[in-house]
Structures are given as C-alpha cells and as structure tokens.
Structure 1
C-alpha cells in the first residue's frame, strides 16, 4: 500500500536529517521527489503545489538555523501531509441500538464491507445483525448470506421480496435485541433520481444513526465529486474507502474526502474478513514514514482474538515479559491477520526490513516445528527462556528430545529475544496526551529496530 510514496517520504526525511546544509538545490530535489510521488498517488495537483511552496518557503527561511531548521522542516512536512489527509474521525457507537446504512455505487464493495464491519464490532462484544435490502442485484442477498454464515454473523434476508421497504418492515420487530444493525442497500452505475428516492424513503423508515458512503480507492480524485454528490443528496455522515491495497490512486481518494469534509471512518486493505482498519491520518502517515502504526496493529489483533485473550496478552505486554508459548501464539495471530508481510509496516522500524518471500511462505511449517520443540521443554524453560543463556547444555537436551538440530532451538530463542526486546523497549516509552506514542518516541523505536537487517521468521 503506497510503497512508492512511502519510499519517497522516507527518502525526503533522510535527506533532511543527514544534510549538513539545507541549500536551495537540496530542497528543490526533495520537493521534486515529493511532487512526483504525490501526483503518482493521484493527489490533487493544487494540494501538491501548496505543500511544495510551503516547504520551499520554510526551508529557505534564514531566521531558523542549523539542527533546529532540519527538525522544523521534518515537523512541517509531517503536519502538512496530515492536514491534506484530513481529520481523524472515528466511528463511535451511541448508547442503545445503532443502525448503520451503507450506500454506494455498483462495485464499491458494500456487501463485503458490511460483513467486515459486522465482524469488527462482533469482536468488540456487540450483538450485530446484517440486513440485506439490495433487492436489485441478483446475487446480493446470497452473497450477504454466505459471508454472514462463514463468519458466524446474524443476518436477515428475504430471497423472494423485491421491495426494500417491505423487507425492512417485516424484519424490524425481530431486531430489538441487537446493539448494531448494518444495512446493505442497492447500488447503481450513477447516483440517479431513482436511487436517491429509494435511499431517502428507507432513511425515513429506518432512521439510521449513521449513513456511510462506500467508495473504491481506485477512483482516485473522482472521489471528491462522488462524495459531494452523495453528501448533497443524502447527507452522509462518513466514508469507507475499499481496495486500498490494490491501487496507487488511494492518495487521491483520501485527500479528496478531506477536501469535501467527508471524514473517512475505515479503509479496507484486502479480501479477508479482518482486512479492515480505522483510518487515523496521524498514524497512517507514521506508517508511510517507516515509523509503524501500533494502534492499527492492536486493532488487527483484536479482530483475531477474543476479549479474554486480549486482556491476558495486554497484561503480559505491559509487564514487558513474554513466554515462548506467547511468541508462537503471536505468530499464529499474525497469520490470521494476513501474515507478517502484511503487518510489518505497522511495526516501528520494520517497514524497510528486507524479508524474503521464501521466509514468509515457510511460516506455517516453522510454527508447527516450534510447537513441537516447546513440548520438549520444561515449564521453567517455556516461561523463562533466559535460562538457556545460563545453561547452554539445555539446548542440546531439548534438540535431542524434539529430534531437531541445535540451530533450530537457537532460531526460536532468537525470535523470542527480538520480540521480547521490542516489548520491553515499547513499554518504557512515554505516551502523549491521547494515549499513543508521540512522533519523537516512534522515531526512537523505529531507529532502534530499524538496525535489525536480517530477521528470521
């Protein structure tokens, strides 16, 4: 996702950081690189020009000198990029029953997004129901049914009824016990009068607490026109942008929504049920700059673990101490999320780590072997792997018991050490007022773990 833009931003910040003097030629080179990458990401050219002019002006301002100027320029770049990405607008459920109606044109991904949203809130303890009111697309109801059943979500569809309003009225009495109702509506090729009329009629009857527009990222800057039209006609409360993983135009869609003040609640980053992320411009940019996005990573973990597991793991993380069994469970969770290749950009310092496809593909086999190795260990060794450092002969005993080479025991212990060191380092960092790592602390963490050139997974 945004690999070229990410590389360009990292290159720009590195050039600024490592420069002895910020002269005109260097600044112009940085600006040109940024312009190229932002335009390739389909960001509005007027926004790109405005950002470029601001960087040139501040970089060549003689009132700010030396190291202060470099820090000032990196801070400015960060702030201006966050500004064009828009304000953070989380989707907050109200007390009582919430009714969220999803709108969008054909092919936007409304039905799959409804299932992802249902899974997202079900994992957070909400009682969720999916309602199929798309009576025009022949496969819509069957698709919703399959997605709901596959992911153990409650759903209501009427395969025979062709009137969306009648369908809603027949189901409404059965929905009283649910915390959250997610409503799939019909799409069209364009926002025509017929669609507007149908959605308005449904809205009067359903009285949704949120009306969310679903748009694909690959429409780029055209998102501005689409968001404006839906906002004018149907008063949308927010946006979900889909397929962010499969296009270079996502920057255009995100910045276009910011221009129209249509806050982006979520982005989807793949086809799997857990490929849904809250959109926070600050942490999203942090990931592009190679400083990770720990908030998004924790959100991902919540999608594959229940509340009891989450609480237990959180206590261990806060204590800064993991067992070998925890390491294996965390790697298993990574695979459910989409594998290490998908989440490494969320971990501070690992965005640039070169990890071969062969290593990533061998993950499942390695997990099975690790579990087998752990069974040959004593309780003390599993819970406190540091004892292997004090008594190296334990490695040979465990290897013999598990029928593996000593090197494989050492590889597991190395994995444990890397993860445990990262947890200890993170637990010692200070949080800002919002409860998240500050930019300075994120850079500190990224710098420390960015030095790890070769990692074994």
Structure 2
C-alpha cells in the first residue's frame, strides 16, 4: 500500500472464495484489518442462484458488506440470486459486469436493470456507452468531431469512426440488448452467430477503408470500377466487398440526412417510441444483424 500512497483510489481484489471455507474467511478478515477499506463490495456471479444467501450472510458477518457487484450478465443468467444477497445484507447493488474489460462495468441503475430483466432494454446505459465511445474515438482522431455529421456532409471518414466507436461499446449482442424491442425474444429469433458475423463484417470494412486514399475517404463518389479493383487488391478481398461497403455507406448517409432534418420535437418522439418498445430509429442503417 505504501508504494501507491500517491494514488487517489486503491482497489484491493481478493482471490475468489467460498463462504464456507473457514481458512479463506479468516484470510479476508485479516486483509480487511490491514487495508481498512472505505468500502467493501461482494462480487457475485449472476448465475449463483440460492447459494448467494449463505455466501452474503457469511461475508457480512466477517467484514461487513457495503454493496454488491453482479458479474457475467452477458450470459443467460439474470442475477436473481444476487438480488437475494442484497436483501440479506441490507446493502445495495453498486456495479454490473457484462464482460472482461473495464468498459463492460456499469454503474447500477435500478430502472434500467429491471427493464433489461424484462427484456425492455436500457436506453440510459446505452446512451452512456455511446457517449463514452464517441469521446474516446474523438480523442484518438484529433481532427474529427462527431457533431459535424449532424451538420455537414457524411463521409467514409465518419463511417469508419462510427464503427470504431461501436467496437469500443463492447460485444454487439450486449448493445442490442439495451435497445427496447431488440432484447429477449427478438434476439432469440436470430442465428446464433448473427452478431459475430456482423462484427466481422464491420472489421472487414475497416480493412477496406485502410486501403483507400484520403480523397476517396472524403469523396466516395470518385470510386469507380478501376479504383474498386485497386482497393480490393490492397485489402485482400473481392471487389464485391467494396461494393457492399459503398452500399452500406449510402444507407448510413441517407439515415444521417434524415436526422439532420429532424427538429427537437421529432427526436423526442422517436426516443419515446423506442422507450415504449417499438424499436425504430435508423441506427447504423443496416449494420446490425439484419445486414447481409
């Protein structure tokens, strides 16, 4: 601890342990005594089931629990057992985990969590992920401002940066699950590999765009057959993939032009429709699981 005295926050992650293993409980009591934490969180697997009650009770007795973090929510489990742990310890849910990266940790919001349990999406968490991904992409691309897409010409540069931002938002199935009307039964109707295929397609498009010149990226209309063949050779793909990319670009361009023509009232009505579970919205203009 002394080696990191200048840090604002210390996170001590102890090894996983079972509540009934006395030696491990004794160890965590000793760690608690040495560290003297401001806050202690119990991390529980979403699939733990009824075993959460005994585990939470034992940890509460040993060191006191200030909150619970539910992990592995990217699987089929919904976290019901973890809710029992919250009730038993009279604490609260602090964070939700849905993957292996820092970006997959979310602050707990009761309304959004319940909505996702019911297959109704979570627009608030979706908006936070979009904002964070856009900010990170903007920091990486110094001369790019996402707001310009809403005011001026939509180019392949914008499309590439949008795809980079989407990749930062995490697995596509998690993102889709946050959209009202897209979770639950509708997602179950798609092929098992639909999301993986879509993300692979997006990565192929990024490789293709890396083989384009700056002029082609800012003015795709200049890409004729000869340029398509040159780009395909550089990217190691068939010419048909270049044509798919350009068709996708045109669809996204039309979607952005629709947004540019919307007033505040139109945008609010669209969001209300999504919150009511009706889906809607142009999104990525076909980049989702319904693309070819």
TM-score computed with the length of structure 1 as normaliser: 0.47
Distance 2:263 2:141 in 1: 18
4+ residue runs over 6 A deviation = 310-315, 422-427, 450-454
2:204 corresponds in structure 1 to 365
CA, structure 1 residues 292+402, in 2 after alignment: closer, same or farther (shift >3 Å)? Answer: farther
Structure 2 residue corresponding to 1:220, chosen from 38, 49, 53: 49
**Contact map agreement 1:277 1:296 (CA 8 A) in 2:** no
Tell me how far apart the structure 1 counterparts of residues 2 and 155 of structure 2 sit (CA, whole Å). Answer: 49
Choose from 146, 159, 164 the match for 1:332: 164
- Report the 3-state secondary structure (helix = DSSP H, G, I; strand = E; otherwise coil) of the residue aligned with 1:284: helix
Correspondence list, 1:58-97, <5 A:
none
Rg larger in structure: 1
Aligned to 1:399: 224
For 2:12 and 2:252, the matched residues in 1 are separated by 44
* Pairwise CA RMSD: 4.2
Relative to structure 1, the CA distance from residue 300 to residue 278 in structure 2 (aligned partners, 3 Å threshold; closer, same or farther) is: farther
Residues in 2 aligned to 1:313 and 1:295: alpha-carbon distance in whole angstroms? 27
Q: How many residues are aligned here?
A: 265
Mapped contact 2:198–2:291 kept (Cα < 8 A): yes
1:415 aligns with 2:247: no
Preserved CA contact (<8 Å) 2:150 2:256:
no
Q: Give the superposition deviation at 1:223.
A: 1.5
Q: Which has the higher contact order (CA 8 A, sep 6+)?
A: 1
- Aligned counterpart, 2:123: 293
Aligned to 1:45: none
Q: String of CA shifts for 1:66-125, please: whole Å, max 9, x gaps.
A: xxxxxxxxxxxxxxxxxxxxxxxxxxxxxxxxxxxxxxxxxxxxxxxxxxxxxxxxxxxx
Aligned residue number for residue 256 of structure 1: 84
TM-score of the aligned structures, taking structure 2 as reference length:
0.69
User: 1:173/1:408 Cα in 2 relative to 1: closer, same or farther (>3 Å)?
Assistant: closer
Unaligned runs of 5+ in 2: 230-238
CA deviations over 1:378-422 (Å, ceiling 9, x no partner): 74x47xxxxxxxxxxx3xx32343435656423212134346756
Question: What is the match of residue 281 of structure 2?
Answer: 449
Residue 369 to residue 188, structure 1, CA distance change in 2 (3 Å): closer
CA distance, structure 1, for counterparts of residue 26 and residue 243 of structure 2: 70
Whole-angstrom CA distance in 1 between matches of 2:182 and 2:30: 50
Of 182-191 and 216-225, more deviation after overlay is shown by 182-191
User: Against the structure 1 CA distance between its residues 447 and 333, is the aligned structure 2 distance closer, same or farther, given a 3 Å change threshold?
Assistant: closer
> Is the counterpart of residue 185 in structure 1 residue 20 in structure 2?
no
